[in-house]
A and B are shown apart, each in its own frame.
Chain A
Amino acid sequence: MSEHKSHAGKHHGFAHPASIKSLLLVFFALIILTWLTVFQSTLKLGSIELVVSLTIATIKASLVILFFMHMIHDKPLNAIAFLSSFIFVALFLGFILMDVHGYKDSYEFKNVDSAPKVAAATPE
């Protein structure tokens, strides 16, 4: 009734074991990039620092996704599903940031007292 794929000849069938070499290379690259992140934070880069650290983080993330999560050998559908989620995250963050920065001048940042709060706000 069901088509049974014979794996007698092939060693791994639909499995694609990663090579130890690639795993170790990726790991060491990640460690180096981590060190780089810490190092660049000690330099006084000013406002560009955020961009640099996020870029390095994204490179690290890409290595993890492509190799440790073996997306590089995976079906395109899985990649599309996962990567497209970031589009929605960008949408979410983008609109809200745009909006809040649009109206932020209409209110003030106040000095909040650390004393016990209003009685009505009873926590659960």
Chain B
Amino acid sequence: MTSHEHDSHDASHGHGEHAHMPFQAHHFDDPEQQFDAGKLGIWLFLVTEVLFFSGMFCAYALYRSLHPEVFTFASQYLNETLGATNTGVLLFSSLSMAWGVRCAQMRQRTGLVICLSVTLGCAAVFLGVKAIEYTHKWEMGLLPAGEYVSQFLQTSHHEGLSSWLYVLSAVPALCVVGFGIWYVLCVMSGNKQKAEVAGPFLVTALCYFLGVFIGIVFQNAEAAAHAKHETAAHASDSHPDHDQAEHTSDGHGEAPEQSAAAKLVSHVEPNSAPGAPTLAAVDQAGGAGVFFSIYYCMTGVHAVHILGGIAVLAWLLVRATKDHFNEEYFGPVDYVGLYWHLVDLIWIYLFPLLYLIK
């Protein structure tokens, strides 16, 4: 055994005995053992993620089974189109990620860089849509139980973009500016490798705003559709009265001042069976508020995982531009891919469970 600096060895920076395998770790016998170990490791990490999310799925199952009417009521505030769009975006990002793994295995450096960039872009679009969804709800008072604002008591209706959106978009905006400047500098100085990193980063930051744009379009479309529906309903029947919703004297009887929420809600058929929970019982902090708590926890933790994924994908992109990967060493791409697919998997379940309750 040749003597060497033991402590400086690790999987990425070791001096291996194989010239074409600079990332061989000294404690593994061969690249395949290293790959297999890493693969098992990432699958075990995914096991921990499954168990981590299971807590929230349990809370969901619990409260939905106990109070199905709360979930039916609250779910209508979730924009299905945006949810479906996000689903499609994540599925596409999974495709590009899996394709990227293939590129890494086949030494297609440019293909890998493109695939990783597409994946990053999709992730940013997802977050942009999410930002619209969240800020819209915050304006409407659809908050966790502790801060939940009853939709029927609400008297004011906020038009246009929430001011929270500007807060959330501050970091992406800075990124656009920062990466834009960096990209221009790289191109001007002729540093191709850095430009290959800066460019995709810039595109990713811009994709966030693409997501915001998509969100605004579909959110407005929904509002418009509901407005049309509302005027049609007014023309056909007398305004349906819900007991206990008459706590406030204004905002309920006159169509133009009616809150957007009430417009939506008035088309939910109240459960008129005797003993069934009244709408007010559902539209309160301990009812719909709990739904939104679960909604924010699940999608929030999911979004945090997307952010983590963006960070790791960015790291991979840098390494890809340096041509680190080949058919003997593609582990990191594969492992990040597995993580990313798990994030997609979770959303595959979240979408029908949260958005499609009727």
Interface of A toward B, CB cutoff 8 Å: 1-5, 7, 11-18, 20, 23-24, 26-27, 30-31, 34, 37-38, 41-42, 44, 49, 53-54, 56-57, 60-61, 64-65, 67-70, 74-75, 77-78, 81-82, 85-86, 88-89, 92-93, 96-97, 100-101, 104, 109-114, 117
Closest chain A residue to B146 by CB distance?
A117
**Residue B323 lies at the interface, judged by CB distance under 8 Å to chain A:** no
Pick the contact of B58 from A15, A49, A53, A92 — CB < 8 Å?
A92
- Asked whether, in the complex, the Cβ of A100 is within 8 Å of the Cβ of B66, the reply is yes
- Asked whether, in the complex, the Cβ of A77 is within 8 Å of the Cβ of B40, the reply is yes
- Asked whether, in the complex, the Cβ of B80 is within 8 Å of the Cβ of A68, the reply is no
Residues of B within 8 A of A104 (CB): 66
Interface of B is mostly: helix
- Taken together as a complex, chains A and B put the C-alpha atoms of A83 and B345 apart, in Å, by 13
Residues of B within 8 A of A49 (CB): 358
- List, sorted by A's number, 18 A–B pairs whose CB atoms are closer than 8 Å: A5-B31, A5-B32, A11-B327, A30-B91, A38-B84, A54-B353, A60-B348, A67-B98, A68-B95, A68-B337, A74-B39, A75-B36, A78-B39, A78-B40, A82-B50, A89-B50, A92-B54, A104-B66
Closest chain A residue to B80 by CB distance?
A38
Residues of A within 8 A of B351 (CB): 34, 37, 57
- B300-336: which residues lie under 8 A (CB-CB) from chain A? 327-328, 330
- Asked whether, in the complex, the Cβ of B30 is within 8 Å of the Cβ of A93, the reply is no
- Asked whether, in the complex, the Cβ of B50 is within 8 Å of the Cβ of A17, the reply is no
Q: A57-B352, A111-B281 are in contact. Are A85 and B1 (CB under 8 A)?
A: no
As a 0/1 sequence over residues 103 to 115 of chain B, the CB contacts with chain A under 8 angstroms (1 = contact) are 0011000000000
Residues of A within 8 A of B77 (CB): none
Pick the contact of B61 from A24, A81, A93 — CB < 8 Å?
A93
Return A112 CB to nearest CB of chain B, in Å. 4
- Asked whether, in the complex, the Cβ of A97 is within 8 Å of the Cβ of B284, the reply is no
**Residue B286 lies at the interface, judged by CB distance under 8 Å to chain A:** yes
Residues of B within 8 A of A117 (CB): 146
- Asked whether, in the complex, the Cβ of A64 is within 8 Å of the Cβ of B40, the reply is no
- Asked whether, in the complex, the Cβ of A93 is within 8 Å of the Cβ of B54, the reply is yes
Q: A7-B328, A114-B284 are in contact. Are A34 and B87 (CB under 8 A)?
A: yes
Residues of B within 8 A of A3 (CB): 29-30
Closest chain A residue to B358 by CB distance?
A41
Q: A89-B57, A111-B281, A113-B285 are in contact. Are A27 and B91 (CB under 8 A)?
A: yes
Pick the contact of A85 from B51, B67, B328 — CB < 8 Å?
B51
**Residue B356 lies at the interface, judged by CB distance under 8 Å to chain A:** yes
Residues of B within 8 A of A27 (CB): 91-92, 94-95
- Asked whether, in the complex, the Cβ of B50 is within 8 Å of the Cβ of A54, the reply is no
Closest chain B residue to A93 by CB distance?
B58
Pick the contact of B102 from A18, A64, A74, A112 — CB < 8 Å?
A18
**Residue B150 lies at the interface, judged by CB distance under 8 Å to chain A:** yes
Return B354 CB to nearest CB of chain A, in Å. 11
- Asked whether, in the complex, the Cβ of B54 is within 8 Å of the Cβ of A69, the reply is no
Apart from A4-B30, A20-B102, 12 more pairs, CB < 8 Å: A17-B105, A18-B101, A37-B351, A54-B349, A68-B94, A68-B344, A82-B47, A88-B51, A100-B66, A101-B66, A109-B67, A109-B287
**Residue B338 lies at the interface, judged by CB distance under 8 Å to chain A:** yes
Closest 4 CB pairs of A and B: A112-B286, A53-B352, A41-B356, A15-B105
Residues of B within 8 A of A38 (CB): 80, 84, 356
Q: A7-B327, A86-B50, A112-B285 are in contact. Are A69 and B102 (CB under 8 A)?
A: no
**Residue B253 lies at the interface, judged by CB distance under 8 Å to chain A:** no
Closest chain B residue to A44 by CB distance?
B358
- Taken together as a complex, chains A and B put the C-alpha atoms of A78 and B91 apart, in Å, by 23
Pick the contact of A13 from B47, B148, B328, B344 — CB < 8 Å?
B328
Closest chain A residue to B70 by CB distance?
A109
Q: A24-B95, A81-B47, A93-B58 are in contact. Are A17 and B106 (CB under 8 A)?
A: yes
Closest chain A residue to B47 by CB distance?
A85
Closest chain A residue to B338 by CB distance?
A69
Return B28 CB to nearest CB of chain A, in Å. 8
- Taken together as a complex, chains A and B put the C-alpha atoms of A64 and B97 apart, in Å, by 12
- Asked whether, in the complex, the Cβ of A57 is within 8 Å of the Cβ of B29, the reply is no
- Asked whether, in the complex, the Cβ of A12 is within 8 Å of the Cβ of B91, the reply is no
**Residue B265 lies at the interface, judged by CB distance under 8 Å to chain A:** no
Q: A17-B106, A88-B51, A97-B65 are in contact. Are A109 and B286 (CB under 8 A)?
A: yes
Residues of A within 8 A of B50 (CB): 82, 85-86, 89
